[in-house]
Amino acid sequence: MDDVLRKPNSTLDNVVLLASRLLLAWLFVHEGEWLITNFAAAAAGMIKLGVPAFALVATIALQLIAGIAIAVGWHARLAAAALGLFCLATAMLFHTNFANRNELLHFEKDLAIAGGMFILMLRGAGGYSLETLARQRLERDGGWPWRFRAF
């Protein structure tokens, strides 16, 4: 068992990375979908906090695009970096009333999610990802020519 855990590209490693990506991505895709379906209420809440309404559209786009990118493993490092910074900003801008236990809990959760995103940013998507599939196809087809073939 120890040998399996030490191998950087083992099947176990790839399965855990896939499961972790899906768990992290689900949070953001689900929230982005909720914000779309409850756009008016979300916009009113953001305006009450002093956040301009256009930031809601940017938030939805970030959550959906980066969340899906992480789920499928396409530019997962970039998406994880963006969502990690987003979580840090959310924690520090909106959850600073530590006298309120709920706000403290949200602050800590945002920091934990950011930590997971930064680990994903450093580690990458793993073997079960579109990035790996594209890399394997590129190696199999001998480089760039496959991109220029007619479909």
Instruction: Express each pLDDT in 17-49 by its tens digit.
Output: 999 999 999 999 999 999 999 999 999 999 998
Q: What is the CA radius of gyration of the chain?
A: 19
pLDDT level of residue 151 (50, 70, 90 thresholds)? very low
Task: Tell me how far apart the alpha carbons of residues 38 and 111 are, in angstroms, rounded to a whole number.
Answer: 26
Q: Which residue has the higher pLDDT, 13 or 5?
A: 13
Residues 46-63 pLDDT 10s:
999 888 888 999 999 999
Please give the distance of CA 126 from its chain centroid, rounded to a whole number.
14
The 10 Å Cβ neighbour count of residue 51 is 15
What pLDDT is recorded for position 145? 57
Task: Tell me how far apart the alpha carbons of residues 123 and 118 are, in angstroms, rounded to a whole number.
Answer: 9
74 has a pLDDT exceeding 80: yes
Please give the distance of CA 141 from its chain centroid, rounded to a whole number.
30
4 has a pLDDT exceeding 90: no
Task: Tell me how far apart the alpha carbons of residues 122 and 124 are, in angstroms, rounded to a whole number.
Answer: 6
1 has a pLDDT exceeding 60: no
The 10 Å Cβ neighbour count of residue 72 is 19
pLDDT level of residue 65 (50, 70, 90 thresholds)? very high
Task: Tell me how far apart the alpha carbons of residues 116 and 125 are, in angstroms, rounded to a whole number.
Answer: 12
Task: Tell me how far apart the alpha carbons of residues 60 and 46 are, in angstroms, rounded to a whole number.
Answer: 13
Task: Tell me how far apart the alpha carbons of residues 121 and 125 are, in angstroms, rounded to a whole number.
Answer: 8
Q: Spell out the domain ranges in the chain.
A: 2-143
Residues 88-106 pLDDT 10s:
999 999 999 999 999 999 9
What pLDDT is recorded for position 146? 53
| Residues of the chain by 3-state class (helix, strand, coil), percent to 5 | 80, 0, 20
Helix (H, G, I), strand (E, B) or coil at 95: coil
